[in-house]
Every structure is written in C-alpha cells, then in structure tokens.
C-alpha cells in the first residue's frame, strides 16, 4: 500500500488559528512490535509502519511565540518547554499522522486550553533546559517531571549534543517517515478529530545522547514495548509553525475518501 506522504507537507487551503515556533527538537525513536502496539491505539486508526515496523517517539523541545493568529506573543505565557510521546497512524492508506499518548508542557494555561480545545492528553510538568536558548553544538540538559494530572511518575532527563550539518530529510527514508508529520489525530467522548500544522521541512541533523533516563513511555502504557536498545536520534534547531483549525471526522466516511469538518 503506497501512502501519499507529500501532500500533508504542503500548505493547506484552510484557516490558520495559531502561530508558534518550535525550537531545539530532539527526536528519540524506538522500534516496537506492531502487534503489541496495536492494542494501545484506537481501532478506528491504522498503524503507520515503515518496512513493516512500528515506532514510538519521545520528543522534547521548546515552543516560543505561541499565540492566536490575531494576537502578538505575550511573554512568558507564549514560551514554554514541551515533551510528547507518540506513534504514527493513518486512515486506510490516507492522511498519515501522529497519535499522541501524552504531551507534557511547562504551562498550566497551555495544558488546560489544549485539553479543552484540542482534545489532546496534555499534562502539566516542571521543565528546565540548559543552556537556553541552545546554540549550535551546545550540550543540552533537558529535564521534565510531571506535576498533574496522574500518572505523576512520568519524567525524562536527557543530555545531548547536536552535531553534523543540517539538511531536510529525503522522502522515502526512515528520517522523513519519523520527522515530517503534519497531521495529528485526537479523540474525545467517542468522537475523532484531525488537526494540521505547516512549516518548512525540518533542518535535521544528528545528535549524540550522553545520558537518557525516562519513564514517559511507561507512564503512557508502552513500557513493555520499550526495548533496551539505543534510540534513533535526530535533532532540529527550529521551525516557524502555522496551526490550522481542528476538524471533527466521520471515520466511516473518511475511510471512503470523504472529508467532514
């Protein structure tokens, strides 16, 4: 089954509702058993696989300039760190996107808004990043400890150094499959929603992880799938992001190629 992975990367003809910048993105990915992962993802969505393998990602980064499209950024409300745990899904060969197990953010306001408006499993966390802002070839220490709601045992400590020259991922490669994701899926009260973002391709580069301790995957219920092998590691310095309105889906119609908002 050939999935169109280019169309979602193109700027949609839809209404922009927010603007933000994503900075210092560290992509950590582990290969997991698709059969074991299947039980953790809603049956209405299909697992998106690369050469028959599923992946779970842990992505710590920083958001700046977060605001509605009609408002200027308001510091410090508009700037905060975030970490998400995710895997990848599609709808019967169409619209490949992200399924989030959790998103931790260092902003109480952002957590409440995202849970209410975007129907996403956000959690409030205490987070630090040193140095901030990080520069080229800086060694970064990123720490996150969940505060609320439960489960509170979710945390991550990672020390890493970006290295190598940045370049966009080539379509068809594993790097492109993991990083270039512009659609997200969410569920609330039995209804499914899809959102879209747009930005230029990530300026991906390699990174050296010196230390990694995390319980985020276990808190999300995927600890039995989390192998002890080293993760795949990618880094991107920053991208400017447009956020588009969320659409409610009728999955039966969606699977037949129709689009409902």
The model's pLDDT over 177-218, given as tens digits with 9 standing for 90+, comes to 999 999 999 998 889 999 999 999 999 999 999 999 999 999
Q: Which helix (H) or strand (E) covers residue 210, if one does?
A: strand 204-214
**Residue percentage of the chain with pLDDT more than 70:** 94
Q: What are phi and psi of 212, to 5 degrees?
A: -145, 120
Are the C-beta atoms of 98 and 184 separated by less than 8 Å?
yes
Per-residue pLDDT, averaged over 145-168, amounts to 95
> For residue 76, what pLDDT band results from cuts at 50, 70 and 90?
confident
CA distance 128 to 237: 17
Name the most confidently modeled range: 67-76, 158-167, 246-255: 158-167
Are the C-beta atoms of 85 and 245 separated by less than 8 Å?
no
- The domains of the chain, with CATH numbers, are 7-254 (2.40.400.10)
Per-residue pLDDT, averaged over 134-163, amounts to 93
Q: Which value, in Å, is the radius of gyration of the alpha carbons in the chain?
A: 17
* Spatial CA neighbour of 111 closest among 63, 146, 103: 103
CA distance 88 to 47: 6
Pairing relationship of beta strands 94-105 and 54-68 according to DSSP bridges: unpaired
What's the mean pLDDT when you consider all of the chain? 92
Q: What is the Cα 187 distance to its own chain's centre?
A: 16
Per-residue pLDDT, averaged over 246-252, amounts to 84
pLDDT of residue 225: 58
Tokens for 43, please give them: 């049956």
Block residue for tokens 């409030």: 124
Residue 239 clears pLDDT 60, i.e. is over it: yes
CA distance 191 to 119: 10
Widest distance between CA atoms in the chain: 49
Q: What is the Cα 51 distance to its own chain's centre?
A: 21
Q: What is the Cα 248 distance to its own chain's centre?
A: 20
Tokens for 194, please give them: 């899809």
pLDDT of residue 151: 87
pLDDT of residue 250: 84
CA distance 226 to 255: 31
Block residue for tokens 């609320």: 148
Strands of 92-246, DSSP E: 94-105, 122-130, 140-148, 155-167, 183-188, 191-198, 204-214, 232-244
Per-residue pLDDT, averaged over 17-32, amounts to 96
Are the C-beta atoms of 198 and 11 separated by less than 8 Å?
yes
């Amino acid at each position: 089954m050939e999935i169109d992975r280019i169309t979602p990367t193109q700027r949609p003809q839809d209404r922009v509702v927010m603007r933000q910048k994503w900075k210092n993105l560290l992509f950590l990915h582990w290969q997991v058993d698709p059969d074991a992962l299947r039980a953790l993802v809603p049956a209405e969505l299909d697992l998106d696989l690369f050469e028959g393998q599923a992946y779970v990602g842990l992505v710590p980064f920083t958001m700046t300039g977060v605001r509605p499209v009609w408002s200027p950024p308001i510091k410090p409300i508009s700037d905060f760190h975030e970490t998400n745990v995710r895997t990848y899904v599609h709808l019967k060969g169409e619209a490949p996107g992200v399924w989030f197990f959790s998103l931790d953010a260092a902003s109480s306001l952002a957590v409440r808004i995202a849970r209410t408006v975007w129907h996403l499993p956000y959690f409030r966390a205490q987070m630090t990043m040193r140095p901030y802002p990080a520069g080229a070839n800086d060694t970064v220490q990123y720490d996150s400890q969940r505060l609320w709601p439960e489960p509170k045992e979710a945390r991550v400590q990672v020390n890493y150094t970006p290295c190598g020259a940045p370049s966009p991922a080539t379509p068809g490669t594993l790097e492109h499959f993991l990083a270039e994701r512009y659609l997200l899926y969410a569920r609330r009260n039995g209804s499914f929603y899809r959102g879209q973002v747009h930005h230029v391709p990530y300026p991906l580069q390699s990174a050296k992880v010196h230390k990694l301790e995390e319980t985020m995957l276990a808190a999300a219920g995927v600890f039995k799938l989390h192998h002890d092998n080293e993760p795949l590691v990618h880094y991107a310095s920053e991208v400017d992001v447009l956020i588009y309105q969320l659409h409610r889906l009728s999955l039966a119609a969606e699977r037949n190629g129709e689009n409902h908002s």
